């Protein structure tokens, strides 16, 4: 017997996943393969609480297999299959030790043609935010691994059919407590089957639990298996989700939502998530008997599904009318319940599972798997392209730019150094001249009154001290300005991220005071006693003669008391005038000598400062020239290395690109084969991640 085409495609996807080292994908694909080869149609019934899921299952089978009623809700999944006689069992699967990683992508994660994620919107116009699969199924993250694969053998406990509904609704003992009680009383069989166990209270955590019910029904005998689930978001957070309730393990998913309202954002989020792993999706609008305008609600929901991009069929039904029609055998009422349309859909899917349904499932699985296999290749290609744009060639261009920048930097620091040093020499000379002039002004003020002969020692110490202070202040300012210029020039190298300052610095000489010469006392004319006597006699002669002649007219002799008194007065005045004249000459001589001494000091110190500034300029020039040459050598080395690396990397990069292109071509061909299974009605058509990167 020839294997179907979809099976060959699925096996090829498994082989490709193995070649890529994706064991998680292989495990999932093998589970999907076994599921598609199973002739039974597993129908998973989902929905929010109190939407009529259990009543829908009862109406499909015309049997009260699921608990319904006020204050009653399903707490564990219920698998209803065909059996020759009514049977019931509770199944408990322990937690897995190595959970299978889940890597499904929801439908709202598919990319639009412009490369951005498509955003779905709910009926109220708001964005239907993506949530984790655990949130949509009403389970915690801790429960997600259990949904992948159970660890160890499952415990299956047979229970009376009349008691199973109580245990499904949570009013009876759970499977974990039943097993524990059986082990305590020794009534457990070797295969894990337990009989004759009464009710106990409480539940034991640590595994996933579901119920299995078998009844004789024509729909079930055709191969349909119905799975009722707890309300999405309404299960116990501590209870683990059973593998039976995972949408990816079903062949058909029925989402039940009553027509008393439009589809909620939560339901749209759940649909978007399920559509990522389930190609066969039906929305059942229940309770149409309660809403007269249900057709309007149904049409609005169809529009919401189209806007959200959910590929699902919408079927309105009434379980109440269906059960009433079954009791009264009313065919018209049964047709009004719209259940024949739903049952025909189930039978059609069951009959076409090995072809149409399997083809769509394989096409969707292939798309999901190939997207995951292509993503690392695209990432590697993007990284390779990024490396190419930032690799050796770009480094070579960067090195060339660095050479140009270093040349500009060299011109800038040389201009800065020359300009600042020229300003420094001018400023230092002006500063020294200003300080010496202040000293000379103080000397002039002092010797306008003081006699150099009486306070020369004090003046000599004062002058030496002030000249020393001026020299030290001038040198200190010179050193400070040289340090500032050094930092200013070094700042031109800030972009190279290293310390460009020299290891030396300018300091004030320690023996600067020893270089200051002490001013010798100039030779000044003294006013001796002999000079005073001669000056007094010379001045008194005129007074004696003048007043003596005047008194002779009065008959007095030439030398008389009056003439002698006048001579004494004139002689004293002459002595005083001559003393003042000599003092001024001494003061002028000292001022002149001090001026010459200060000028000599200025010339010597000015030359020392200029020599120091020129020496600093030469040292800075040599330092920064060497630094520039060192940087240039490093940049040239980088340029040569980048050129060699570019030549060596080109061949390797081209070979890697060819390998990635071949693998992407293989995945693209496999994707086309898988999508050809469903023809023009490709499941979730759109970008696959196999297109060349930008």
Residue found by looking up tokens 């027509």 in the block = 259
DSSP 8-state symbol, 496 = G
Which domains, and CATH codes, for the chain?
38-110+118-351 (3.40.50.300), 392-521+587-676 (no CATH)
State the pTM of this model.
0.55
Q: 180 phi and psi, to 5 degrees?
A: -65, -40
pLDDT of residue 321: 93
Between strands 78-82 and 207-215, the pairing is: parallel
Residue 595, H or E segment = helix 561-676
pLDDT of residue 520: 66
- 194 in the Ramachandran plot: left (φ > 0), alpha (ψ -120 to 50) or beta? beta
Nearest to 464 by CA among 589, 594, 586: 594
Measured CA to CA in angstroms, residue 62 lies from 76, 329, 330, 335 at distances of 21, 12, 14, 15
Rounded to the nearest 5 degrees, what angle is found at the Cα of 689, between the Cα atoms of 684 and 694? 135
DSSP 8-state symbol, 354 = I
**285 beta partners:** 257, 316
HSE (side-chain half, CA atoms, 13 Å) at 223: 17
pLDDT of residue 521: 67
pLDDT of residue 544: 63
pLDDT of residue 98: 44
Three-state secondary structure of 185-197: HCCECCCCCECCC
CB atoms inside a 10 Å sphere around CB 560: 16
Sheet containing strand 207-215, strands side by side = 155-158, 87-94, 207-215, 78-82, 224-228, 41-47, 252-258, 281-286, 313-316
pLDDT along the chain (694 residues), means of 10: 79 87 87 86 90 91 87 86 92 61 38 37 41 38 36 78 81 58 50 39 59 92 91 58 78 92 90 84 92 93 91 92 92 93 91 83 85 85 68 73 84 90 90 89 81 76 87 88 89 79 77 70 62 63 66 71 72 66 74 86 87 90 88 81 76 82 86 78 47 42
Nearest to 439 by CA among 519, 521, 523: 519
pLDDT of residue 151: 52
pLDDT of residue 545: 66
DSSP 8-state symbol, 204 = -
Can you tell me whether residue 253 is helix, strand or coil? strand
Q: What is the DSSP string of 76-141?
A: S-EEEEE-SS-EEEEEEEEPPSSPPPP----GGGSBPTTSSBP--B-TTSSB-----HHHHTT--G
pLDDT of residue 536: 63
pLDDT of residue 682: 45
C-alpha–C-alpha distance, residues 440 and 417, integer Å? 35
C-alpha–C-alpha distance, residues 96 and 145, integer Å? 7
C-alpha–C-alpha distance, residues 41 and 466, integer Å? 112
pLDDT of residue 147: 36
DSSP 8-state symbol, 520 = P
Cα 579 from chain centroid? 94
pLDDT of residue 352: 84
């Amino acid at each position: 017997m020839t294997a179907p085409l979809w099976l060959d495609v699925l096996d090829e996807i498994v082989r490709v996943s193995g070649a890529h080292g994706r064991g998680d994908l292989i495990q999932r694909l093998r589970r999907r393969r076994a599921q598609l080869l199973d002739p039974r149609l597993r129908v998973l019934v989902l929905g929010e609480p109190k939407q009529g899921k259990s009543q829908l299952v009862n109406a499909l089978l015309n049997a009260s297999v699921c608990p319904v009623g006020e204050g009653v809700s399903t707490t564990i999944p219920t698998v209803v299959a065909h059996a020759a006689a009514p049977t019931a069992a509770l199944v408990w699967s322990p937690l897995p030790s190595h959970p299978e990683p889940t890597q499904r992508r929801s439908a709202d994660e598919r990319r639009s043609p412009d490369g951005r994620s498509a955003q779905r919107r709910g009926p109220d116009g708001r964005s239907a935010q993506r949530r984790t699969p655990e949130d949509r199924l009403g389970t915690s993250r801790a429960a997600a691994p259990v949904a992948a694969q159970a660890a160890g053998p499952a415990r299956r406990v047979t229970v009376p059919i009349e008691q199973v509904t109580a245990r499904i609704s949570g009013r009876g003992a759970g499977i974990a407590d039943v097993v524990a009680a059986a082990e305590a009383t020794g009534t457990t069989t070797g295969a894990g089957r337990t009989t004759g166990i009464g009710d106990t209270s409480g539940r034991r955590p640590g595994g996933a639990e579901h119920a299995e019910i078998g009844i004789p029904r024509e729909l079930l005998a055709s191969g349909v298996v119905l799975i009722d689930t707890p309300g999405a978001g309404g299960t116990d957070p501590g209870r683990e989700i059973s593998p039976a309730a995972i949408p990816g393990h079903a062949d058909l998913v029925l989402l039940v939502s009553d027509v008393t309202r439009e589809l909620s954002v939560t339901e749209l989020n759940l649909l978007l998530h399920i559509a990522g792993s389930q190609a066969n999706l039906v929305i059942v609008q229940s309770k149409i008997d309660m809403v007269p305008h249900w057709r309007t609600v149904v049409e609005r929901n169809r529009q919401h599904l189209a806007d959200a991009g959910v590929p699902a069929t919408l079927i309105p039904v009434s379980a109440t009318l269906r059960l009433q029609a079954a009791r009264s055998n009313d065919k018209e009422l049964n047709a009004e319940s719209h259940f024949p349309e739903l049952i025909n859909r189930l039978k059609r899917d069951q009959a076409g599972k090995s072809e149409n349904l399997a083809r769509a499932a394989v096409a969707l699985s292939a798309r999901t798997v190939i997207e995951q296999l292509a993503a690392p290749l695209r990432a590697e290609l993007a990284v390779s392209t990024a490396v190419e744009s930032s690799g050796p060639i770009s480094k070579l261009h960067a090195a060339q730019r660095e050479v140009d920048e270093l040349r500009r930097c060299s011109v800038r620091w040389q201009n800065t150094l020359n300009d600042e040093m020229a300003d420094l020499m001018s400023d230092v000379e002006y500063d020294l001249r200003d300080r010496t002039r202040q000293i000379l002004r103080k000397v002039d003020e002092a010797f306008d009154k003081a006699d150099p002969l009486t306070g020369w020692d004090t003046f000599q110490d004062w002058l030496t001290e002030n000249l020393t202070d001026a020299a030290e202040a001038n040198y200190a300012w010179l050193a400070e300005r040289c340090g500032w210029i050094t930092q200013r020039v070094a700042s031109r190298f800030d972009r190279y991220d290293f310390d460009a300052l020299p290891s030396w610095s300018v300091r004030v000489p320690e023996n600067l005071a020893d270089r200051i010469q002490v001013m010798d006392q100039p030779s000044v004319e003294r006013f001796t006693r002999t000079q005073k006597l001669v000056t007094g006699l010379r001045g008194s002669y005129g007074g004696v003669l003048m007043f003596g002649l005047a008194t002779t007219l009065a008959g007095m002799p030439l030398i008389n008391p009056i003439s002698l008194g006048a001579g004494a007065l004139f002689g004293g005045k002459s002595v005083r005038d001559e003393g003042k004249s000599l003092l001024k000459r001494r003061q002028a001589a000292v001022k002149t000598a001090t001026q010459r001494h200060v000028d000599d000091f200025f010339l010597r110190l000015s030359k020392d400062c200029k020599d120091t500034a020129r020496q600093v300029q030469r040292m800075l020039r040599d330092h920064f020239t060497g630094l520039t040459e060192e940087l240039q050598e490093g940049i040239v080395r980088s340029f040569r290395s980048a050129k060699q690396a570019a030549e060596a990397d080109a061949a390797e990069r081209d070979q890697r690109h060819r390998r990635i292109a071949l693998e992407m071509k293989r995945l693209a061909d496999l994707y086309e084969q898988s999508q050809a299974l469903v023809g023009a009605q490709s499941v979730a058509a759109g970008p696959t991640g196999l297109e060349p990167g930008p």
